[in-house]
Structure 1
Amino acid sequence: MASSMTDAAVKAAIAAVESESATLVEKIEMLIELATEFQKKPKDVEPLWQAVELYRSAITLSSDHPLLWARAQAGMGTALRSIPDDGTDLLLQARDCYQTALPVLQEHASSEEIAEAEMNLGLVLQSLVSFHQARLVDAIQAYQRALRVFTGDAYPQEFAILQNNIAIAYLSMPLSAEGDDMRQAMAVQSFRQALEWVTLIDHPSEYAMLQNNLGNALQYLPSTHPVENNVQALLAYDEALKVRTVHDTPLEYANTIANKANVLLNLPDDLEHPEAGNPNCLSQAKALFQEAAVIFERYGRFDQMRTIQQTLEEISIS
């Protein structure tokens, strides 16, 4: 059904392009607008491939209209990077689309449109790092250029996403042992900067994402006060769980409760007397791990389920 609806929409777009009542600019704009619609919450990859074809048609028609040409290039990049692919071909094509579009956007487009392209370029570059096809420093630089426009006060959601991605990039950097403390601290700082501008009420999804990731960074932050960091991490996970619920976002919920369980493993029951041990925290951790394992199994996340089961076995042995 989805495919036939997509085909019908593409035929409608072609008919509009062929219509004599539309100017060339209007035809290009129709193609870009329809392609953009296909990219919104697609149920499978077919609408994304159709969007790519519509963008290509728009690019072909817009040789004398540089801004429209660049918008079509950037839009095609976003469609390509959204298509699941085990390799790098589509990501490399997406990177080329953004890098081709950006000089033209910088000459003709608004600052927000340029910043959006920079942000998307950063996402692609960050995805290519694991394939040794890009450098994290280049992704961070793209994000930082976008932050010149997407400030916390004017664009809190975009600011939060950028700071989150920068923090994750810091944590992924293969630095020397001497640099580990700095990168962890910079990641924590980025998460906290983002949380200054997003709120539980106005931006629940971004708020939960940042709190969960802040908890992860705090949990592994090298420090002379590990217990204090773990307490802060626990608070961050609890904030994330105000949004992430087993009914609304089961996989995100499972991830967060598993992260929380990891903290509880290393937290004493009595902060004033850590020598007394942590049987209560350990019991809570087991329950959370078991709940997360059930959810991961239900949704086919067997690697995560097995990791938790291994942790539970280790707890039982110790």
Structure 2
Amino acid sequence: MKISCISPSPHSSHPPSNYGYSTLLDIKGQKAKNIEKAIACYQEAFRVYTFEAFPEDWAMTQYNLAIAYYDRIKGEKAQNIEEAIACYQQALRVDTFEAFPEDWAMIQTILGNAYLDRIKGEKAQNIEDAIAFYQQALRVYTFEAFSEKWAITQNNLGNAYYKRIKGEKAQNIEDAIACYQQALRVFTFEAFSEKWAITQNNFGNAYRDRIKGEKSQNIEEAIAFYQQALRVYTFEAFSEKWAITQNNLGNAYYKRIKGEKAQNIEDAIACYQQALRVFTFEAFSEKWAITQNNFGNAYRDRIKGEK
């Protein structure tokens, strides 16, 4: 019933000074075509930027090519992620822990994201690999030296624990909650409102599914976290994230134990209706289908209205 955990992404420390990167960010053209052009430009750059002659420029281009494959719309998603992983691993031939620790940590974090999203391979092992990459990044990204990147990595590590298949589920969720709590040491409403909202949403997911503690109170906490996220995620400013949070809030109301059951289901239906203002069949077919399924569950159990 969940749509996703939202992960903030670190930005490249390499200077985005080549034509391919500019093409990737060209808002005037069609995104899919622009990404294909970017891939072609980066591949052309390798005619000059060889590992032997220009190792740092070669690594920078591998990194940017990985971003393009990761964001690619054309082609098979599973293979695009594999291409991105391969490029990041190539970049690590230059961006080692010893020579470029900050760049190394950044790539570790992004590899964590890639393995968390990976389609090929065994899902349980992919998540274990993601956890390992995030933990590696935290060797460099300390709270004292890189507070924002540390918090980003804590948030993403929380997402990995939340999705973890191996280990005890109850403890995995507790580990996720602990990571989100760490992230909020940096991501305050005042300083990082959007990332604060991301973490509030992820907290909501974790508390909604929490096994330890009292279930009814955990769901109340989840509802409160989603409502906090909506202080930032408005329809006007963050329509997709607003819709994700509306869907998640609907799921929490659907599972709610406290309050009147009939009203809880009505509140869930209202949230799903809000989400469909954004999740149309044309624009977000998969999320539209998820929300339609959630609607079906709520209407099946509805008490008010004509049975």
TM-score of the superposed pair, with normalisation by structure 2: 0.74
Q: 1:261/1:89 Cα in 2 relative to 1: closer, same or farther (>3 Å)? A: closer
Are 1:10 and 1:50, in contact at CA under 8 Å, matched by a contact in 2?
no
Partner residue, 2:218: 183
Partner residue, 1:118: 154
Are 1:153 and 1:197, in contact at CA under 8 Å, matched by a contact in 2?
no
Match of 2:68 among 37, 42, 45: 37
Corresponding position: 1:193 with 2:228 = yes
SS state at 1:104 partner: coil
Are 1:188 and 1:214, in contact at CA under 8 Å, matched by a contact in 2?
yes
Whole-angstrom CA distance in 2 between matches of 1:153 and 1:14: 47
Partner residue, 2:89: 56
SS state at 1:80 partner: helix
Are 1:13 and 1:34, in contact at CA under 8 Å, matched by a contact in 2?
no
Match of 1:164 among 188, 201, 208: 201
Whole-angstrom CA distance in 2 between matches of 1:159 and 1:262: 31
Superposed displacement of residue 27, structure 1 = 4.3
Give runs of aligned pairs for residues 274-289 of structure 1, distance below 5 A: 278-279=305-306, 282=307
Partner residue, 1:314: none
Deviations 1:231-277 (A, max 9, x none): 322322222122122332233223323433443445455xxxxxxxx
Give runs of aligned pairs for residues 102-113 of structure 1, distance below 5 A: 102-106=138-142, 110-113=146-149
Q: How many residues align?
A: 265
Answer 1 or 2: which has greater helix percent.
Answer: 1
Whole-angstrom CA distance in 1 between matches of 2:282 and 2:82: 32
Whole-angstrom CA distance in 1 between matches of 2:274 and 2:132: 39
Match of 2:125 among 65, 82, 89: 89
Structure 2: gaps (5+ residues)? 1-34
Equivalent AA in structure 1 for residue 66 of structure 2:
A
Superposed displacement of residue 92, structure 1 = 1.6
Whole-angstrom CA distance in 2 between matches of 1:89 and 1:8: 34
Equivalent AA in structure 1 for residue 112 of structure 2:
G
Whole-angstrom CA distance in 1 between matches of 2:194 and 2:236: 13
SS state at 2:142 partner: helix
Partner residue, 1:174: 211
Are 1:157 and 1:203, in contact at CA under 8 Å, matched by a contact in 2?
no
Greater relative contact order structure (CA < 8 Å, 6+ sep) = 2
Q: 1:86/1:56 Cα in 2 relative to 1: closer, same or farther (>3 Å)? A: closer
Return the index of the structure with the highest Cα Rg: 1
Q: 1:48/1:264 Cα in 2 relative to 1: closer, same or farther (>3 Å)? A: closer
TM-score of the superposed pair, with normalisation by structure 1: 0.71
Identical positions, percent: 26
Structure 1: gaps (5+ residues)? 270-277, 283-318
Q: Cα RMSD over matched residues?
A: 3.1
Partner residue, 2:270: 235
Corresponding position: 1:66 with 2:97 = no
Superposed displacement of residue 206, structure 1 = 0.9
Q: 1:268/1:182 Cα in 2 relative to 1: closer, same or farther (>3 Å)? A: closer
Are 1:28 and 1:68, in contact at CA under 8 Å, matched by a contact in 2?
no
